[in-house]
Amino acid sequence: MRILVISDIHANLAAFTAVLRRTREERDLILCLGDMVGYGPDPNECVELAAEVSALILGGNHDLAVGKVITAKDFAPHAKKSLRWTGLVLSAANKAYLSRLQPRLEYPSSGDTPPDVPEPLLLSHGGPEDPIWSYILSEIDAEAAFRQVDFSRCFFGHTHLPSVFVLNTGGTDRGPAHCTGRYGPPDTVVETGRQDARFLLNPGSVGFPRNEDEAPSWDRRFHAVARYALFDLESGLWQFKGIEYDMGDTLERMVKFGLW
């Protein structure tokens, strides 16, 4: 089964639809790791499209703030501004939908795990030890997650940085347990089927990547980058992916609405 893993769409419909078009023949289902709203100008469209196409959707911190599950007091000023605007334009039905989402879940659920899959995938918006607020940005952050939560493979978002952290759990030729992390350039493949390792994998952000060479800018608006990942459930192969798209109209509307 081929899975499209997406996260942090952030109301950027142009990026989201570009990813869906590119992966139409490459995926059997979609897992969304949260934050469909915030920052961008198309929150209703992104919530409704994600709900339509995804097999499972997590609630990110922006989603849960707009859904009034958490408060926005700890958000950065720019994020608070976008949340206020989003709250004004998002429909009541979509707010109610966001309020029901969970920030961490397993896929498939424990009772439905296929026999050829050793255990369910853990899906978490932020780090699994604190799925609403935790940022896994370093090996130290990853070690805390590995230590506090039991999983073999966890897909997470929130940082907007495509990345992989691997905990080598030991073996005859691998030495004692230790954690390594790295950035995930497009088309990099990670083999997650190893029995002597645990994995934290972040597909990056569909809507607003934060790695310096791909972060949205006015100068690059016609060649913006959306990040995502493809995962083969049977083989355990994870592949970082990216696609260029035209963000010109999106940025113009963000300026118009005071979001940029």
DSSP the chain: -EEEEE---TT-HHHHHHHHHHTTTT-SEEEE-S--SSSSS-HHHHHHHHHHH-SEE---HHHHHHTTSS-STTS-HHHHHHHHHHHHHS-HHHHHHHHT--SEEEES-GGG--TTSSSPEEEESS-TTSTTT----SHHHHHHHHHHS--SEEEE-SS---EEEEEE--BTTTBS-EEEEEE--TT-EEE---TTEEEEEE---SS---STTTS--STTGGGEEEEEEEEETTT-EEEEEEEEE--HHHHHHHHHTT--
Q: What is the pTM for the complete model shown?
A: 0.94
CATH number, domain 2-256: 3.60.21.10
Average pLDDT over residues 106-130: 80
Computed over every residue of the chain, the mean pLDDT equals 94
- What pLDDT, on the 0 to 100 scale, is given for residue 225? 98
> For 171-227, what is each residue's pLDDT tens digit?
544 445 679 999 999 999 999 998 899 999 999 999 999 998 999 999 999 999 999
**pLDDT tens-digit readout, 34-72:** 999 999 999 999 999 999 999 999 999 999 999 999 999
